[in-house]
Amino acid sequence: MNKELSEAETKAILEKIRNEYKEHGKLNPKAFDSIAFEKRYLQILQMRGNIGKFLSEEVVFLEQLKGKFQEIVAKKEAQKAQTLNRIMDESIEKLANYKKIDFHPMAKTELRYFYGAMADFAETELPVLILIFKGTPEYSFLQDAVLQIERIGVIRRGLPSLKIQELIKSMLDANGNAILVEKASQNLLKEGCLALKNIYTSIQDLVSKNRINPDLMANINERDYPKAYATYGSRRFEVCLNRISEQCKQIIQDFRMNALMSMDN
């Protein structure tokens, strides 16, 4: 490009350089300083220098600048990926405390653990909650949330729960669309955690208003509810409700839904 350039060639190269500065300047205006380039160009014109040589050197400089910029961006992206992977690893470590239930190849690991968490809650906490409140006026505060958790967590005759069956259908209907699959998965997480939050807040409210006798004993049928009996058998209502509340809160936090549920504190 050191040979004499025609006016059209000079104009074309100038336009290309200016466009490069403009586009990359949106990402990093300090590095891609178009004003500095224009000053250098004006200088070479005033000095009646070799325009071809000047433009050739500017093109090389610009390519080097772009290469360096891309290298920096790649390093930043790699650091972000490492941070994200670390956060995800820490999240999965928390979820490993729960049972994992595989129900569909497209289901994320998080959702398999959530299904396990809700299934355990339905087997361990729900029977106690129902025992304490069933048949009382207070049960109306909990009924909808209990029903929702049953729909997500209760497994009958070896079949997935009703909500998980609905999710599997949504995954099949999505026909490989990852966005639709993610949306359906997140909706299930939100529904389950909202039900847990409603149980948590209802218990807090009913206990604070003395709507329950804290000293009554939870006489759980061991044969019908072995998991509930192992955890809550022959414990006082107050102890049971405190533990159920904490379990609700823990699941919401472990599945990173506490901010959405306004339960950060």
Q: Are residues 151 and 202 in the same domain?
A: yes
Domain-embedded: residue 259: no
> What ranges make up the beta strands (E) of 198-237?
none
Instruction: Measure the CA–CA gap between 65 and 160, rounded to whole angstroms.
Output: 57
Burial of 234 (0-12, 13-18, 19+ CB in 10 A): exposed
Domain count, the chain: 2
Domain that residue 109 falls in: 98-254
Each residue's pLDDT, cut to its tens digit, for the chain (265 residues) gives 445 778 888 889 999 999 998 988 888 888 888 898 899 889 888 888 888 888 888 898 888 888 888 888 888 887 777 766 666 566 677 888 899 999 999 898 899 999 999 999 999 999 999 999 999 999 999 999 999 999 999 998 889 999 999 999 999 999 889 899 999 999 999 999 999 999 999 999 999 999 999 999 999 999 999 999 999 998 999 999 999 999 999 999 999 898 888 776 5
Q: Are residues 236 and 146 in the same domain?
A: yes
b/e 28-59 (16+ beta carbons within 10 angstroms → b): eeeebebeebeeebeeeeeeeeebbebbbebe
Q: For residue 156, what are the β-bridge partners?
A: 159
Q: Are residues 137 and 154 in the same domain?
A: yes
Q: Are residues 80 and 149 in the same domain?
A: no
Domain-embedded: residue 264: no
- Look at residues 217, 224, 252 and name the one whose alpha carbon lies nearest to residue 145: 252
Domain-embedded: residue 265: no
Contact (Cβ atoms closer than 8 angstroms) between residue 237 and residue 213: yes
Domain-embedded: residue 79: yes
DSSP assignment of 14-64: HHHHHHHHHHHHTT-TTTS-HHHHHHHHHHHHHTT--HHHHHHHHHHHHHH
Q: Are residues 124 and 138 in the same domain?
A: yes
Q: Which of 54, 77, 94 is the last residue of a domain?
A: 94
Q: Are residues 126 and 182 in the same domain?
A: yes
pTM of the model: 0.67
Q: Which of 62, 78, 94 is the last residue of a domain?
A: 94
Contact (Cβ atoms closer than 8 angstroms) between residue 127 and residue 228: yes
